[in-house]
Structure 1
Amino acid sequence: MEFTIRKAQAEDAELLHQLGRMTYSAHFKHMWVSAEELDAFIDKEYGLIELASSLAASNESWLIAETDKPIGFAKVTWNTPVPDSGMSGALLNKLYLNPEETGKNYGRWMFESIINEARDKREGYLWLEVLGENVRARKFYEAFGMQHIKDIPFITASQQSTLQILGMMI
């Protein structure tokens, strides 16, 4: 089956809205104490207005992964300061696949594509935030050479989680 990665366009907002809601909920619903807070978070991250604005931003790129159908996406914000570090680089905001499509190397190919684009843009550094509880994702990124920089809290009205910042020179 052919696998492609393409840059998302303004007309992809609805697709990203649907993919975002489905993939985030599938991967992280069990980590949320409050269903209402989860829904509010997803609405904030994948609302059509927010997506339209993000897709139009010159410092942000959305990618869509496809086989015979869309199976995932990624978002990168270019030239973004790493909190409390004095460094900046490409921030990988999101890289999500339909859970049925994990384990097929699609995530690896997407991540390698992002690294290559960041190098082309002379970013010099790539970083991201990952939930401390998301051991599988952390191991995935560490296998590429990403290293733990620091922990920061992620706080909602009903819970507190730890986000780990990982980064690497590229």
Structure 2
Amino acid sequence: MLTLRKASVDDAALISEMGCASYMHHFAHLWREQSELQDFLRQEYAVPTLQQSLQDGKRCWFIARDPSPVGFAKVSWHRAVDDHGPVGTQLHKLYFLPGKTGLGYGETLLTEIARVAKSRGETALWLEVLDANPNAHRFYRRLGFTHLKETLFSTPSQKSTLHILCKLL
């Protein structure tokens, strides 16, 4: 049975390990340059960076366990999609370890995030998803997210299209 808890600064090393493992498993094939991928992972999952983020009151990290850790999520409270809105909780990350997707964990974790966001007075939940990730698109659309707009993620060697999806709470 999946259990969820808010992560603390003591979870930085665990999130770093899970973040690198899950990202490499699910997304490494999308990167043209391995050096850019390694730079990205260092920026996103360095323990000091995570420790700082875990102490930021504008963000929240969740750890999912069954009974050992299987994944995590990161949100930012009360963030605007752009200058024209909407404003709501931004889901930055919803990642599961290799072999732990397709088990219903994502829906459970996302439902809890939506519940917490709504209890904080948020009226929307939004996220960015890679155009090259059709499974995530299907997942989020099945859960009521709709397309708002597109944006780009760029590195020196490539550009990737991101779709911004939103769900009213």
| TM > 0.5 fold call | yes
Q: In angstroms, what is the RMSD of aligned CA positions?
A: 0.8
TM-score (norm 2): 0.98
Corresponding residue of 2:37 = 38
How does 1:121-136 map onto structure 2 within 5 Å? 121-136=120-135
The residue matched to 2:99 in structure 1 has which SS? helix
Corresponding residue of 2:164 = 165
The residue identity in structure 2 corresponding to 1:80 is: R
The residue matched to 2:26 in structure 1 has which SS? helix
Corresponding residue of 1:99 = 98
TM-score (norm 1): 0.97
The residue identity in structure 2 corresponding to 1:83 is: D
The residue identity in structure 2 corresponding to 1:169 is: L
Question: What is the Cα deviation at residue 144 of structure 1?
Answer: 1.1
Structure 2 unaligned blocks of 5 or more: none
Q: Distance in 1 between matches of 2:98 and 2:142?
A: 20
2:65 pairs with 1:69: no
Render the CA deviation track for 1:31-75: whole Å, top value 9, x for unaligned. 000111011111111111110110000010000000121110000
Question: What is the Cα deviation at residue 84 of structure 1?
Answer: 4.1
Task: Provide the identity percentage.
Answer: 41
Question: What is the Cα deviation at residue 3 of structure 1?
Answer: 1.5
The residue identity in structure 1 corresponding to 2:12 is: A
The residue matched to 1:100 in structure 2 has which SS? coil
Q: Distance in 2 between matches of 1:88 and 1:135?
A: 25
Q: Distance in 2 between matches of 1:10 and 1:111?
A: 22
Number of residue pairs the alignment of both structures matches:
169
Q: Distance in 1 between matches of 2:26 and 2:149?
A: 23
Q: Distance in 2 between matches of 1:154 and 1:84?
A: 19
